[in-house]
Structure 1
Amino acid sequence: MDYIHLNEMEFYGYHGVFAEETKLGQRFRLTLSLAVDLKQAGETDELKQTVHYGEVYGLCKDVVEGEPKKLLEAVAEQLASRVMEDFPLIKGVRVLLVKPDPPIPGYYKSVAVELTRGIFV
């Protein structure tokens, strides 16, 4: 299997359980790995044989900056579902959604949710 990676995209959204998260919002960092057969694209140099990652970025922006969810898990699931539905060449997707500044006490770099859907070898 071949892969396209969109690494550490950053968005501002209003997801979270706490009132201040849905009112003030916060940064989210997103990495997507897309399982795609890239052989034809490599041989033909044709965009139609691959996934336009600019369009994938736009979908991610719409989801993460869109309708607020309580849980990172819900945002990640929506991302995975939409990517698989909207881009038929994608056989699998791995979503790593990071909340760098969650409003919880303690010392840590971030919290994150990672999920994999479809065929991802």
Structure 2
Amino acid sequence: MYTQTVALKDVRCHALHGFYPEEQLIGCIFMVDAEVTFTTDNNDSENLDKTVNYEVLNNIITIEMANTQKLLETVVKNILEKIKTKYPFIETVKVGIRKMNPPMPGQIGQSFVQLTYTRS
């Protein structure tokens, strides 16, 4: 058996997430990472139904990033839950969102929220 990892890194999205009304008007650039692991026997490595399709991961990310929320924690959880639902065989899911240049005093490169799920 093998443990396989499928991931998307640095999916760039402009979205309107933010607690303050002005954040939901002007938006911000976000970078999203999603990583899943699962066990496979690797005997059918050319079968897309036996793996996690990163095109589907991208679609989940894109849809959830377009659904404005006040907190990134909500967005991260929604992405993670959709991935778990689509791929019930996965063992771990890690989703992180970075808000680039968050609008606050000082020079801040990014804020970051991450959530990890491990099947028990």
| Fold conserved between structures, TM > 0.5 | yes
Cross-structure match for 1:54: 55
Cross-structure match for 2:32: 30
Partners of 2:50 and 2:88 lie apart in 1 by: 11
Partners of 2:41 and 2:64 lie apart in 1 by: 30
| Equivalent position SS for 2:22 | helix
* Unmatched segments (≥5 aa) in structure 2: none
Partners of 1:105 and 1:39 lie apart in 2 by: 51
* Shift >6 Å, 4+ stretches: none
Mean alpha-carbon deviation: is it higher for 86-95 or for 108-117?
86-95
Cross-structure match for 1:3: 5
Cross-structure match for 2:21: 19
State the shift of 1:52 in Å: 1.1
Contact 2:101 2:107 in 1 (8 A): no
| Equivalent position SS for 1:35 | strand
Quote the sequence identity (%). Answer: 24
Q: Write the deviation string for residues 16-50 of structure 1: whole angstroms up to 9, x where unpaired.
A: 0111110111111001110122433xx32211110
Task: Tell me the TM-score normalized by structure 2.
Answer: 0.89
Q: Which amino acid aligns with 2:77?
A: E
Partners of 2:6 and 2:94 lie apart in 1 by: 11
Partners of 1:8 and 1:69 lie apart in 2 by: 20
Task: Tell me the TM-score normalized by structure 1.
Answer: 0.88
Partners of 2:65 and 2:89 lie apart in 1 by: 23
Q: Is 1:110 paired with 2:79?
A: no
Partners of 1:85 and 1:78 lie apart in 2 by: 11
Number of residue-to-residue matches in the alignment: 117
Cross-structure match for 1:70: 70
Bigger strand fraction: 2
